Amino acid sequence: MTVPTTVPTLTLAAARALHLAAQGLLQPRRRKAVQADVLAAIRQMGVLQIDTIHVVARSPYLVLWSRLGDYPQVWLEQALARGELFEYWAHEACFIPVEDYGLYRHRMIDPGSMGWKYSETWMRERRADVDAVLAHIRAHGPVRSADFERTDGQAGGWWGWKPEKRSLEVLFTAGVLMIARRHNFQRVYDLAERVLPGWDDSRMPSMEQTRRTLVLKAVKALGLARASWISDYFRTRPPRLDPRTLVAEGALLEARVAGWDDPVYVHPDHAGLLEAAAAGALTPTLSTILSPFDPVVWDRRRAQELFGFDYRLECYTPAGQRRYGYFTLPILRRGALVGRVDAKAHRRAGIFELKSLALEPDARLSERFVRDVAAALQRCAQWHGCPCVQVNATVPAQFAPLLRAQLEAQPKHQPNFAQQEQREHTA
């Protein structure tokens, strides 16, 4: 590994390329994904955020597809059930490589610092109910929230959760319970000592070591990072480690991006990528569709600063106030975020509906641009088991006929991975 002796300066395009290379989104894969690639991709990102909205594939599946291409979705649950992953609060609720469990023990030991994710009031006022849920699991084994009938006569409350679900969640946040597996994407809770029997808190790193490691992991996952980007990646709380300290120790490298006043930081493992980026030798060629919860876009400020892309998920915005749609998916094309599409997979009909598609104002509608976007949309649709792509409205309007023509020219096949996942989960 060659460590630069001078501070390199990157163009903004090169900075984007370095970021995408670190995220596994620089170029298309040269080989078909195998099961081990799921864990490798999550290790590369550091975490895989979980969200349950599924107008298209649920977010964690889509994040992996953007990097791996076609793969059976069930591989993710199998990695969790084998104990290669665990679930906890990282950026938000995430799948995390199990070797990083110790980095999150400080959060579990101090669950009161986790905000809405833990309720000290509930634990105090409903302690008997919490203990009853825990005793039930200890005696009868893993449970889902669905295994408990609602007995409170209410449909509201904390996110509409029944009391047992709320008790399960506070016990999960406190590290007493872990997620043993998922069934139909529902969490299956079990005692932490049964899910991770070899763990001992004597192995827990110190808080100082934890802060340091999470900074290094965040910078490595990002490829390059302004100081203001680092804490968001794993949602670390103050006091935070100054990355300049790690530069002085040789644990991080420093670089510059043309036009930015502050430095960026790079992990030494990416010294070769940094050198290539500075030389203009990293060429982004991948065009794909991203999840709203992809690490590339989950930090709105970072996406704006790095890509000039102002992205906000609008599914929690009242319908009349939405600008782009309910669940818009960013479109990545050869190193740039060029637009967003509000899509819906109609799996029974085999139709992937593009309810609206908006390109960025500076998008140039060359034949190559249209072909790249059409191919990415067609691949995404086919992975969903929806070979027919239906184009509704686009901005600009003249993009719609160009896109339809290119979609007609795209090769059609139907790998049925989405249907396979549904069959295996409902068997």
Residue closest to 342 by CA, chosen among 53, 119, 84, 24: 53
Q: Is the pLDDT of residue 410 over 80?
A: yes
Handedness of CA 107, 295, 377, 25 (dihedral sign): negative
Handedness of CA 109, 112, 116, 119 (dihedral sign): positive
Residue closest to 145 by CA, chosen among 61, 52, 60, 42: 52
Q: Rounded CA gap, 72 and 416, in Å?
A: 9
Indicate the class that CATH gives domain 312-426: alpha beta
List the chain domain ranges. 9-27+215-278, 36-203, 312-426
Global pTM reads 0.93
Quick check: 222 and 233 in contact, CB under 8 A? yes
Mean pLDDT in the chain? Answer: 93
**pLDDT for res 274:** 98
Give 26-52 pLDDT, tens digit per residue.
Answer: 999 999 999 999 999 999 999 999 998
**pLDDT for res 260:** 98
Q: Is the pLDDT of residue 256 over 60?
A: yes
**pLDDT for res 162:** 87
Q: Is the pLDDT of residue 424 over 80?
A: no
Scored b (16 or more CB within 10 A) or e, 3-34 reads: eeeeebebeebbbbbbbbbbbbbbeeeeeebe
Amino acid identity for residue 93 in this structure: A
Write down the H helix ranges in 294-342.
300-307
**pLDDT for res 159:** 46
Q: Rounded CA gap, 276 and 270, in Å?
A: 10
Q: Where are the beta strands (DSSP E) in 135-275?
A: 177-183, 186-191, 253-257, 264-266
Give 108-156 pLDDT, tens digit per residue.
Answer: 999 999 999 999 999 999 999 999 999 999 999 999 999 987 565 555 4
Q: Rounded CA gap, 79 and 36, in Å?
A: 9
| Residue 100: alpha-carbon gap to chain centroid | 17
Handedness of CA 309, 313, 317, 318 (dihedral sign): positive
Confidence grade of residue 262 (pLDDT, cut at 50, 70, 90)? very high
Give 60-98 pLDDT, tens digit per residue.
Answer: 999 999 999 999 999 999 999 999 999 999 999 999 999
**pLDDT for res 22:** 98
Amino acid identity for residue 425 in this structure: H
Quick check: 315 and 327 in contact, CB under 8 A? yes
Q: Is the pLDDT of residue 246 over 60?
A: yes
DSSP states of 198-224: T--GGGPPPHHHHHHHHHHHHHHHHSS
Whether the upstream peptide bond of residue 239 has omega within 30° of 0, thus cis, is yes
Give 360-381 pLDDT, tens digit per residue.
Answer: 999 999 999 999 999 999 999 9
Confidence grade of residue 412 (pLDDT, cut at 50, 70, 90)? confident
3-state secondary structure of 70: coil
**pLDDT for res 414:** 58
Give bridge partners of residue 186 from the DSSP assignment: 183
| Per-residue tokens: 192 | 């932490």
Q: Rounded CA gap, 333 and 285, in Å?
A: 7
Q: Rounded CA gap, 272 and 276, in Å?
A: 6
Q: Is the pLDDT of residue 168 over 90?
A: yes
Residue closest to 43 by CA, chosen among 160, 179, 217: 217
Element spanning 354, H or E: strand 351-359
Q: Which whole number is the average pLDDT over 182-189?
A: 95
Give 307-351 pLDDT, tens digit per residue.
Answer: 999 999 888 889 889 999 989 999 999 999 999 999 999 999 999
**pLDDT for res 352:** 97
**pLDDT for res 3:** 52
**pLDDT for res 423:** 41
Cβ-in-10-Å burial (0-12, 13-18, 19+) of 103 comes to buried
Give 270-315 pLDDT, tens digit per residue.
Answer: 999 999 999 999 999 999 999 999 999 999 999 999 999 999 988 8
Q: Which whole number is the average pLDDT over 164-192?
A: 96
Residue closest to 108 by CA, chosen among 35, 169, 22, 31: 169
Indicate the class that CATH gives domain 9-27+215-278: mainly alpha
Give bridge partners of residue 247 from the DSSP assignment: none
DSSP states of 10-61: E-HHHHHHHHHHHTT-SS--SS---THHHHHHHHHHS-EE-----SSS-HHH
